[in-house]
Amino acid sequence: MLRKAAATRYVSNVIGTGFTIANLFVITYLLDIYQFALWGVANSLIYIFSTIGQLTYVQYIEKYFPNYSLEKMNYYLYKFLKTIFFLTIFWLLSLYGLQAVGYFEKFNADNMFILFTIISALTFIESSIELSSKYLLALKKTEKYDLNELLIFKFLRLVLFYILLTNGFSVYYLLLTNLILRSLLLIRVLNFESKGIFFILKSIFKSNIKIDNFENLSYTSLAFIIKSFKVTFLNVLFFILTIYADNETIANYSLGILIINNLRPIFSSLSGLLTPIISTNIAKQKNSSALFSLVNYLNKLTIGIITLLTIYITEYQFLIEYFLESFDDNVYKIILISVFASSITSLYTPKFLDILFSNNEKKLLRLVGLNYFFCIGLYYTFEYFYNVNIFYIYILFELTNLFLFSALYKGEKLSNYFSYSFLFIISYLGFYVYSSQLNSLILFLCLGSIIFDGVKFIKIFNKYVKIKNINYET
């Protein structure tokens, strides 16, 4: 089942990444600098709000749903969706609060009621999609979700955005289109395991949110805060930057933020598929180390290949120069750094989930919270003396998380599947960022190591297949 789900997710993500990147460049080219800055800020606010708006429900679904019956899962899911719907008014009021302090003045935005209504509605839809996708993950039925997201959202979005922008429509219509497409995706997701969307809506409406709404709160509340720290860190940095920066700077960083927010889930997609397996293994006291090693090795190989491609695309500006005419040359380095930064989460996600599901949420909260506030303080310190790139601070935050979770992981020692391609390509990245020059020798080493690691992965996979049915949850 994991093999089928992983294959579907990889294929859909590869194609979807192409659509996503094309969409980003279409927006970048066809929106003016003020509209693009507003687009970046709006999406960043939706990202922050929707993460908070999930309350503690995602954490509850991830840990407990894999061990529940379908009836019990539906009982809680409908209750959760009804609850987060009532938060929509809170997001609307929060946006008016930001307007009252003059946050939106620099973007030359009008029709604020329409803008705020769309952002608030999208916040609810995004929160609902996240809960529903975790529900499908617990059922180990992610294939339909991945295919529907590819077709309903990523492909149609590219087509519709191009039509709208070439005909002079504003960023408001892009946000409205996003709202319609994401709503359609949510309807499809909810209808996968149901008797029809009207039955679902009726069940949600009749749900009693006054009982059984925040069970196991001692765990879920801490896990929720940990996740909020992890996934909102970069967007909080960006929010702080937008208060003081001009629109040109905001537009440059907006592109990097959009890249990370879109690519980070893609890089982490395979690791995310392990969530119900990890939960079940912990409940049954089974070991997941061999599976972690396999996934980690594949993630490193994938990161290496994509990073190498990005180095050459940004160096020779292959296919992208045409779309970035209104940006300065710094945007190419921002693109490169953003692509790499979006990949780091995938390297520690399995270990993080294993630690979290093993009743270590208090220890994780202390460590992640300390890392969070330290890096925020570091940004303020550097920003006072020097205009530091927020993506460097974000990379530091993620690398520190990687170190902390690796040190805290108490499972069996992971197999030492050393990735030469990852080592060479990350070294190449550092060399290029520092010198802005390509080196043919390092390139040769990178390409050779990719081939070597690809052959090695096949051997590792075949070895895993032989032992998985004996000691591991499949």
Banded model confidence at residue 460, pLDDT cuts 50, 70, 90: confident
- For residues 68-79, average pLDDT: 90
Among 36-40, 125-129, 433-437, where is mean pLDDT lowest? 433-437
Q: Is the pLDDT of residue 119 over 90?
A: yes
CA distance 450 to 453: 5
End-to-end CA gap in the chain: 7
Question: Quick one: which of 375, 106, 108 has its CA closest to 245?
Answer: 106
- For residues 28-55, average pLDDT: 88
Among 38-42, 106-110, 257-261, 379-383, where is mean pLDDT lowest? 106-110
Q: Is the pLDDT of residue 286 over 80?
A: no
Provide the 10 A C-beta neighbour count for residue 323. 17
Banded model confidence at residue 277, pLDDT cuts 50, 70, 90: confident
Q: Where are the alpha helices (DSSP H) in 110-267?
A: 112-138, 143-148, 156-166, 171-190, 197-206, 217-244, 247-267
- For residues 176-183, average pLDDT: 94
Among 200-204, 444-448, 467-471, where is mean pLDDT lowest? 467-471
Please give the distance of CA 33 from its chain centroid, rounded to a whole number: 25
pLDDT higher at 8 or 42: 42
Provide the 10 A C-beta neighbour count for residue 386. 8
Structure pTM?
A: 0.80
Q: Which domain holds residue 100?
A: 2-471
pLDDT at 263: 84
Query: What pLDDT digit, counting tens, does each position of 335-363 carry?
Result: 889 999 999 998 898 888 888 888 888 99
Tokens at 271, concatenated: 């690791």
Most confident of 12-21, 269-278, 367-376: 367-376
Q: Is the pLDDT of residue 471 over 60?
A: no
- Between helix 345-357 and helix 390-408 the angle, nearest 10°, is 40
Q: Is the pLDDT of residue 54 over 70?
A: yes
Q: Give exposure, 100-124, as e/b (b: 16+ Cβ within 10 Å).
A: eeebbebbebeeeeebbbbbbbbbb
Percent of the chain exceeding pLDDT 70 equals 92
Banded model confidence at residue 6, pLDDT cuts 50, 70, 90: low
Provide the 10 A C-beta neighbour count for residue 213. 17
Query: What pLDDT digit, counting tens, does each position of 385-423 carry?
Result: 777 788 999 999 999 999 999 888 876 665 556 788 888
Query: What pLDDT digit, counting tens, does each position of 183-208 carry?
Result: 999 988 888 766 778 888 888 888 88
Q: Is the pLDDT of residue 48 over 50?
A: yes
Q: Is the pLDDT of residue 2 over 70?
A: no
Q: Is the pLDDT of residue 246 over 90?
A: no
CA distance 361 to 369: 12
pLDDT at 93: 95
- For residues 296-303, average pLDDT: 87
Banded model confidence at residue 463, pLDDT cuts 50, 70, 90: confident
CA distance 462 to 447: 23
- For residues 67-92, average pLDDT: 92
CA distance 171 to 110: 11
CA distance 422 to 444: 14
Banded model confidence at residue 472, pLDDT cuts 50, 70, 90: very low
Residue with tokens 């620099």: 106
- For residues 374-389, average pLDDT: 83
Q: Is the pLDDT of residue 467 over 80?
A: no
Provide the 10 A C-beta neighbour count for residue 194. 12
> Largest Cα–Cα distance of the chain, in whole Å?
66
DSSP class of residue 149? I
Give the number of domains in the chain. 1
pLDDT at 3: 66
Among 74-88, 98-112, 264-278, where is mean pLDDT lowest? 264-278
DSSP class of residue 153? I
pLDDT at 344: 92
Provide the 10 A C-beta neighbour count for residue 411. 16
CA distance 175 to 139: 31
pLDDT higher at 311 or 472: 311
- For residues 175-182, average pLDDT: 94
pLDDT at 213: 83
pLDDT at 16: 78
Tokens at 444, concatenated: 């040769």
Q: What is the mean pLDDT of the chain?
A: 84
pLDDT at 413: 60
**Residue type (1 letter), 96:** Y
